[in-house]
Amino acid sequence: MTQTQDPRERQRLERYDPVSIEPRWQARWEELGLYKTNLEDRRERFYLLTMYPYPSGDLHIGHWYIKTPTDAIARYQRMHGKNVFLPIGFDAFGLPAENAAIKNKINPRDWTMANIENMRRQLRSMGATFDWDAEVVTADPDYYRWNQWFFLQFLKAGLAYRQKSQVDWCPNDGTLAREQVEGVDRRCWRCGAKVEKRDLDQWYLRVTKYADELLDFSEIEFPDPVRTQQTNWIGRSEGGEIVFETAPSAHHAGGEELRVFTTRPDTLFGATFMVLAPEHPLVGALTAPERRAEVEAYLAGAQVQTEIERMSTDREKTGVALGAEAVNPVNGERIPIFVADYVLGGYGTGAIMAVPAHDERDYAFAEKFGLPIRRVVARPGEEAADLVGAAYIAHSDDEVLVNSGEYDGLSADEGGRRIVAALEARGKGKAAVTYRLRDWLISRQRYWGTPIPIIYCETHGAVPVPEEDLPVRLPDNVDYEGSGVNPLTRDEAFLNVACPIGGEPARRETDTMDTFIDSSWYWYRYLSPRQAGTPFDVDVVESWTPVQQYTGGAEHAVMHLLYAREWTKMMRDIGLVRQNEPWRRVFNQGQILGADGERMSKSRGNVQDPDDLVQKYGADTVRLFLMFMGPWDQGGPWSPSGIGGVYRFLNRVWALSLDPHYREPGDPDAGTLPDGQDEGAARAALRAAAHRTLREVTGDYEAFHFNTMVAKLMELSNTLYRYRGTSVAGGPEWDEAVRLLLLMLAPAAPHITEELWSRRLPAAGQAWSSIHTASWPELDLSAVAESTREVPVQVNGKVRDRIVVASNADAAAVEAAALASPRVRELLAGRTPHRIIQAGGGRLVNLVVRD
RNA sequence: GCCGGAGUGGCGGAAUGGCAGACGCGGCCGACUUAAAAUCGGCCGCCCGAAAGGGCGUGCGGGUUCGAAUCCCGCCUCCGGUACCA
């Protein structure tokens, strides 16, 4: 067994050369069809979905950061015997393609398809187990025709509608959904330009219908921040709708209804004025002739200000009196009506009752315009004198109504309920719920997207394109004039069409759909990507979805992740699927930033190209390094320092597997067992290390704790290294440990493990089979058990000694051993501990002594 | 402002009520080598001490507990989201 050897005489160990190993195995796996999923297979299914990339041209390291651990999950689940489906596709419509087309005068399709081709190559170089047969490219007419089909079904079901409205408009990107406008200064999520307002006829999806249902997360497991963000975005508020009436005046007959929404109906007696949003339809009618000039100037100013700094942080209140009054339904009081842009046209009823004593914004407005402030809610014990002038915004349980007529003395909550009930009896109000969520504006004034299948006819209006005429294809050759104006609007061949109803000359809708529609259902299409006649095979969809696990970035928390839930519910309501949610569980990995801590982008010049790293270290090292960097949900600035450590680790795995008997000339202890260990103990220690690692690594894979998973495999390889060249190296326990190490490492570093595995099998007299078809190893708990254990002993909470006891020692034995320790006796100095605590079943002892 | 997340060695990070700093980077020392690289081994939170050992230490201040990086209260800083939502 023991060999003496002169290293200079040994044949040199073959070098670990990932660049030659990796492409060879990738080709072999493809040849074997190892990752083609048979969707008919009845084994337990595991649909693993990762957000499909936008084909911007190059994969950067951030893509690998999402996809590498996802691939490891797929491989891990396969080793557990599950039928795993891991598809991939491309989010191929969108603005960058169009901008590139304008700049270079090429077709967006050509630009996009060339990028996709490059990204396919890069994705393959990761060694990921994507099932390429399921690939979906959204710019393919066979895909986007179903966007059109869905739109028509939603139209029939009343879930889609057209409306003229003020929309957020980016000078570069055209119409934006509300979610796509970012920040205080209202900038475009995509290009960062200032967003303006425009009045346009637009198509909407009626997603507000699902507001309450979307607040129910019982069937979907989201990271907490995503759930919170969606909840806030939907923004449900309970309160009352109260009907004020306009008062008659010299210029106005009065009696018109002015509805307001409030969350504080209990403060109705404190309403001292009313405010309408600039967009409110009654502003014009209510304005007194002598006020008209000023009001119109204000409205014009508000329009301009939306384009400039209306939302600036100082946000001083502005507004103008209309010269009209409203009647408070609860006490008949007449209060003045103002128009002010701090009231939003799109929320609630676009009008508020202003209660300056109990609302910060109303208070600021009242102060500025010298309007009365009347307290109507008081805390018990507050004197009448305390109530003058100041505002009281807080809302607590023990407050009562004052200055509120018959409701005085009631608790605010109870008073509010009674006020609403009394108004309701008179038809002057009712309990109401309002949401912040708006319907989804899907029209985009862009070429590179799904054409909205509508034809405008002078006789028949907006006519849906008949289903049999789908898809409405994007013309391939369009004329880019170097401007952002949608070229479809001047493409006569596309525009001119006969009305499907009467055959009259008519024109096509030139708007295309928001690309978030493409990404709202692509994983259903993956399951039957070439299905004709329906968007997907419903039986396959029912058996494979909701998706088991979805992985991707948190930046989509209130966009993609909300739109797709809405879409699924709409599909359900037109009878297409039976599920309520698209996915069961979503995980957000962190974001890799550039070395400068900023988002990686070509313009910043901080992009890390994975190809360079793969060339230098191999895909396995890059994969493993990305997993090892830190917790997966954390991300952080990119720094390649440390990648060498991971590369060294793989080299050590290589050396251990191929050359167990080597003795390191630089190590004085090489070839000798650790102090105090005989061969039997060494063998047991090897097995214990391997199985303990297996126990922990299994838990880490399950919890997506890839960084600690790698650390523990490094520890195991360090242990093996300690025994390399000793009498136990190459023995059965050693062999088992190496085997477990390779199996545990296989999901993360698939190439090197496959290479080493394929060399082990013939050595063991077995036929070749891929390590990726092997089963996850079985844990042998008896191997983990040890005969002794170390117990830290604390005195007053500070560790003062460590004692070794038999691993089956009971509490009394541990206590006795602790008290017998010379060090402890010295510290106790004759005192008797008044308390002895053993934590975790004797894992730690704490002796508590009083001074 | 509001909502969410985070703050631990020179650095990435580990430990979620029980031995703080696993694993890795980096640094220092040593071995191997004619030499260098590669490789291998050892040491490295701060302060006192020759050592044994002791004191301090997880953003700051308090608290709960036999015991706190971890739980509670009050702050500070950074990152993400949001922007007058009545």
pLDDT digits (tens, 9 = 90+) for A796-828: 888 888 888 888 888 888 888 888 888 888 887
Spell out the residues 6+ positions from residue A454 whose beta carbon is closer than 8 angstroms to its own.
A203, A462, A463, A464, A465, A508, A509
A655: nt with nearest C1' to CA:
B39
Whether the per-residue pLDDT at A481 is higher than 70: the answer is: no
Name the nucleotide nearest A839; use CA and C1'. Answer: B18
Protein residue with the closest CA to the C1' atom of nucleotide B15: A708
pLDDT band at A113 (very low <50, low <70, confident <90, very high): very high
pLDDT at residue A712 in the model: 96
Tell me the nt nearest to A559, Cα to C1'. Answer: B81
Amino acid at A168: D
Contacts of residue A135, Cβ cutoff 8 Å, sequence gap at least 6: A87, A88, A89, A90, A529
Return left, alpha or beta for A552; rule: phi > 0 is left, psi -120 to 50 is alpha, else beta. Answer: left
pLDDT of residue A482: 58
How much is the pLDDT for A8? 38
Q: What length does chain A have?
A: 851
Q: What percent of chain A has pLDDT over 70?
A: 94
Instruction: Average the pLDDT over each of A477-491, A692-706, A819-833 and give the range with the smallest value.
Output: A477-491
Residue A38 has pLDDT above 90, yes or no: yes
Phi, psi of A267 (to 5 degrees): -100, 15
pLDDT of residue A791: 87
What is the CA A633 to C1' B74 distance in angstroms? 30
Interatomic distance A227 CA / B43 C1' (Å): 48
A362: the nucleotide nearest its CA (via C1') is: B86
Measure, in angstroms, how far nucleotide B18 C1' is from residue A823 CA: 20
What pLDDT was estimated at residue A315?
66
**Does the structure show a pLDDT above 50 at A179?**
yes
What pLDDT was estimated at residue A390? 62
Residue ranges in A389-475 assigned as alpha helix (H): 412-425
Q: Residues A87-97: what's their mean pLDDT?
A: 92
Q: Above pLDDT 90, what percent of chain A? A: 60
Q: Is the pLDDT of residue A314 over 60?
A: no
Mean pLDDT for A253-264 is 91
From the CA of A771, how many Å to the C1' of B59? 47
Measuring from the CA of residue A435 to each C1', which nucleotide is nearest?
Answer: B85
Instruction: Mark out the alpha helices in A379-480 (DSSP H runs).
Output: 412-425
Measured CA to C1', what is the nucleotide nearest A717? Answer: B23
Q: How far apart are CA A54 and CA A323, in angstroms?
A: 55
Distances (CA, A) of A532 to A138, A146, A475, A611: 15, 10, 22, 38
Q: Quick check: A268 and A352 in contact, CB under 8 A?
A: no
Q: How far is the CA of A273 from the C1' of B85 (A)?
A: 19
User: ipTM of the assembly?
Assistant: 0.95
Q: What is the pLDDT of residue A224?
A: 87
* Better-predicted residue by pLDDT, A763 or A216: A216
Confidence of residue A332 (pLDDT cuts 50, 70, 90): very high
Question: Which residue is closest to B33 in terms of CA–C1' distance?
Answer: A666
What is the per-residue pLDDT across A762-801, written as a single tens digit (0 to 9) for each? 888 889 999 999 999 999 998 988 778 888 888 888 888 8
Gap between the Cα atoms of A290 and A278, Å rounded: 18
Residue A686 has pLDDT above 60, yes or no: yes
Question: Cα–Cα distance between A444 and A513 in angstroms, integer?
Answer: 6
Find the nucleotide nearest A642 (Cα to C1′). Answer: B25
* Residue A222 amino acid letter: F
What's the alpha-carbon Rg for chain A, to the nearest Å?
35
Rounded average pLDDT over A653-665: 91
* pLDDT higher than 80, residue A178: no
Identify the pLDDT of residue A762. 85
Sequence-separated (6 or more) residues with CB below 8 Å from residue A567: A517, A520, A521, A582
Chain B bases near protein Cβ (<7 Å): 3-5, 11-15, 18-20, 22-26, 30-33, 38-41, 54-55, 66-68, 80-86
What tens digit of pLDDT does each residue of A122-164 get? 999 899 999 999 999 999 999 999 999 999 999 999 999 998 8
Among A681, A650, A680, A657, smallest CA distance to A739 is for A657
Name the nt closest to A554 by C-alpha to C1'.
B80
Instruction: Please give the pLDDT value at position A814.
Output: 87
**Bridge partner list, A378:** A400
pLDDT for position A184: 60
Question: Can you give the distance from the CA of residue A796 to the C1' of nucleotide B71 in angstroms?
Answer: 20
pLDDT score of A398: 74
Residue nearest to nucleotide B13 (CA to C1'): A630
Q: How far is the CA of A699 from the C1' of B16 (A)?
A: 16
Distance in Å, residue A93 CA to nucleotide B84 C1': 36
As a whole number, mean pLDDT of residues A397-411 equals: 86
Q: Give the CA A616 to C1' B36 distance in Å.
A: 23
Tell me whether the omega of the peptide bond preceding residue A471 falls within 30 degrees of 0, making it cis: yes
Residue A593 belongs to what H/E stretch? Answer: strand A591-593
pLDDT at A833: 83
Residue A312 confidence (pLDDT): 42
Q: Å between A796 CA and B55 C1'?
A: 16
DSSP, residue by residue, A132-190: GGG-EETTSHHHHHHHHHHHHHHHHTT-EEEEEEEEEEETTTEEE-GGGEETTTTEETT
